[in-house]
Structure 1
């Protein structure tokens, strides 16, 4: 009966996805159908409702709505322009300088806001037109914006790393994950810029004039308080001054005060900001609810043990197993949103990699980067569609220039997978 239940679970889930039923509903419906094969209707429905409720009964998850709100304030508060001007002052004089500016600004804004979509829309809406004026094709600009915005999901504070900490059952702390994301996120950004350098030289992209040191200092001063948020949030967590949840509340207060002082928003803007943030939070939390119910069903049916046993029996080499897991996660990322993917597949693959000696924090970074690549690929590809829409080009036009960037991301993924120190050096340095 258990085998039939598992088959029904996956068959109904993928069928609903193909019918374009929203992911959260697909997860909830397939979980309920599968569970009702084993137990009666009333206890089955009660169990699903109970698991959905207890799934979000976590203090750590309070950080998500606060970081969402902080990101929305920053998105509307003119912070993107300050970061772009500062980044431009540093690298605009290089060949292909504006493309570097796009990457650096996306890294900084994505890290500060904790949202790849926010980085894609905020930076892309400004940079695409600027780059076109200097001869960059819009589809190339969109490709740069789409891939570089994912770095903010690795560089803290990152909502998805908080979700992974929950899914890991406490084996990976938020503080350790935050500090572990720095080097992989920076490595990904540098790798993207390396390819841009190659393209800039071969296509002879324009370069700007050298910016005087005094002007760089001016732009830095204007962006300083925006950048300081990263130090306050992550530094406070790592130093043990406050928890990730408390840090998220501090981020909201800091962002609100900063935006008001700069005069980019007024108190009249806050009702709309709160409403938008509440809608985003509701979507995320509902995904978490249904995903936690499915995750519990996986455990109830013994699916993690079955997959772990199968992989360890079929493949004796851990290098091959890591490669297989990466391939599976890359495929999953193409059709499933990040949050449910983390909550559903962490309990499945985490026991396997831990048995092979991979640290849970290391696997968290690998998992998130896999799913970041999925955000840039069809058919789901949230960032792909947002970035294409912002640049006002079709997805089909973006795909060709996007492919080399995706290859770069895969290469970085393999480096992070097989060189643990990229992720684990900083957590070990800070004894996390």
Structure 2
């Protein structure tokens, strides 16, 4: 069976067949090898049943909320606030870029969306102020990692639906690690700015201007507060919170900022449908493969293999980090979560790792993979926004990737950073 899986999946992937179709075709090949025609009836059944989870409705709503905020040019207000907060530090525009990504993370939950939205504004601004183009693109790409870590997060929604883990607990677990990533990236940006002479230190804008920037940004900043406050306060479920986010985004876009028009609705819906269809089709196709995991006892076999390698929990976590970082570079994040989550998470539980903690480790690992050269998806998005070639960008981003890996080790081996808030609110 293993020979059929690798002998069919890898060639199909190399030929450019979409990952979702690779999964279905590979499953069909294994069913043919088993020789039971009744199994083929399971494929459409499992594909449809995988999309019946109510939690999955949150995915299109959060995607739509992020697109609404982007179309409403909320990024401009967040940029102003970020500049007022940290623009006075040496290398100020790089810090502004990072903090803006942190604010924007509470709206979109997507690394690629953050790269395009923030990069479209910040990369030209940094170039104008004398920052090298590859460095500007590297800061933008690296800081976009915060997007899927700070809630709301599309990868966390996927993980929660697949692994039956509390989405509120996962959202809470991502807050402190997301802030840690931003702090470490700012520290790296400061060191690079001093060494390479980027961005002379600017004067502080003053309390009055800072307060004015805060006031202008309050409607945008309230969105993540409404989402998390509503979920934790029991006012609505995560799915209902996503719908509230859409309504709130439309309200401030049309009524408060008045930057949305009716002509924006069609592009917003088109982007939402495209992104949602891609995620849901991948989830449906992966579900047909999940039967093979249980039929061939792959979880038990993988558990025995890991235990044979080591019985030490910390060595196991190191091996998992290495594995996920490598896979995150070459595999779609959704695919990795949907297929590998059910296979590896039960092994982690046998080592005594908390389900929420392991879910956060998984999401952060795969997110860092998005910006790790040479195949990270966000790198290509940054290249498209900045028109920088991949090799210079890969070289410029490595100090930031190293900083993110330090944070990954911290959240892996110091559970306090991930588990403090979930335990405080009773989710762990």
TM category (shorter chain) comes to over 0.9
Give the Cα–Cα distance (whole angstroms) in 1 for the partners of residues 366 and 133 of structure 2: 25
1:202 matched to which residue of 2? Answer: 195
The TM-score with structure 2 as length reference comes to 0.97
Root mean square deviation, CA, Å: 1.2
Would you say the 8 A contact 2:71–2:264 is kept in 1? no
Would you say the 8 A contact 2:149–2:363 is kept in 1? yes
Would you say the 8 A contact 1:155–1:182 is kept in 2? yes
Structure 1 position 55 matched with structure 2 position 47: no
Structure 1 position 78 matched with structure 2 position 80: no
Using the TM superposition, give the Cα deviation of residue 300 of structure 1 relative to its aligned residue in structure 2, in angstroms: 2.1
Would you say the 8 A contact 1:6–1:34 is kept in 2? no
Give the Cα–Cα distance (whole angstroms) in 2 for the partners of residues 252 and 153 of structure 1: 18
1:167 to 159, 162, 174: 162
Would you say the 8 A contact 2:150–2:174 is kept in 1? yes
Would you say the 8 A contact 2:106–2:147 is kept in 1? yes
The TM-score with structure 1 as length reference comes to 0.96
1:300 matched to which residue of 2? Answer: 295
How many equivalent residue pairs? 425
Using the TM superposition, give the Cα deviation of residue 356 of structure 1 relative to its aligned residue in structure 2, in angstroms: 0.8
Using the TM superposition, give the Cα deviation of residue 22 of structure 1 relative to its aligned residue in structure 2, in angstroms: 1.4
Give the Cα–Cα distance (whole angstroms) in 1 for the partners of residues 169 and 176 of structure 2: 13
Using the TM superposition, give the Cα deviation of residue 312 of structure 1 relative to its aligned residue in structure 2, in angstroms: 1.1
For residues 312-391 of structure 1, the aligned pairs below 5 Å read: 312-378=307-373, 380-391=375-386
Would you say the 8 A contact 2:373–2:394 is kept in 1? no
For residues 178-197 of structure 1, the aligned pairs below 5 Å read: 178-197=171-190
1:229 matched to which residue of 2? Answer: 223
Q: Deviations over 1:35-72 (max 9, x none)?
A: 2211334x232211211111111000000011111111
1:24 matched to which residue of 2? Answer: 20
1:8 matched to which residue of 2? Answer: 4
Give the Cα–Cα distance (whole angstroms) in 2 for the partners of residues 161 and 151 of structure 1: 13
Q: Deviations over 1:301-354 (max 9, x none)?
A: 211110011111221222111111111111111111111110111111111111
Q: Could you say if the C-alpha distance between residues 10 and 240 of structure 1 is closer, same or farther in structure 2, counting changes exceeding 3 Å?
A: farther
Unaligned runs of 5+ in 1: none
Using the TM superposition, give the Cα deviation of residue 99 of structure 1 relative to its aligned residue in structure 2, in angstroms: 0.2
Would you say the 8 A contact 1:70–1:113 is kept in 2? yes
Structure 1 position 37 matched with structure 2 position 33: yes
1:252 matched to which residue of 2? Answer: 246
1:424 matched to which residue of 2? Answer: 419
Q: Deviations over 1:401-431 (max 9, x none)?
A: 1111111111111111111111000000111
1:394 matched to which residue of 2? Answer: 389
Using the TM superposition, give the Cα deviation of residue 295 of structure 1 relative to its aligned residue in structure 2, in angstroms: 2.4
Give the Cα–Cα distance (whole angstroms) in 1 for the partners of residues 222 and 143 of structure 2: 21
2:208 to 202, 205, 214: 214
Give the Cα–Cα distance (whole angstroms) in 1 for the partners of residues 51 and 270 of structure 2: 21
Would you say the 8 A contact 2:151–2:174 is kept in 1? yes
Q: Deviations over 1:129-171 (max 9, x none)?
A: 1111111111111111111111110100111101101121x2x
Structure 1 counterpart SS, 2:152 = coil
Q: Could you say if the C-alpha distance between residues 127 and 409 of structure 1 is closer, same or farther in structure 2, counting changes exceeding 3 Å?
A: same
Give the Cα–Cα distance (whole angstroms) in 2 for the partners of residues 138 and 412 of structure 1: 26
Q: Which 10-residue stretch deviates more, 311-320 or 301-310?
A: 311-320
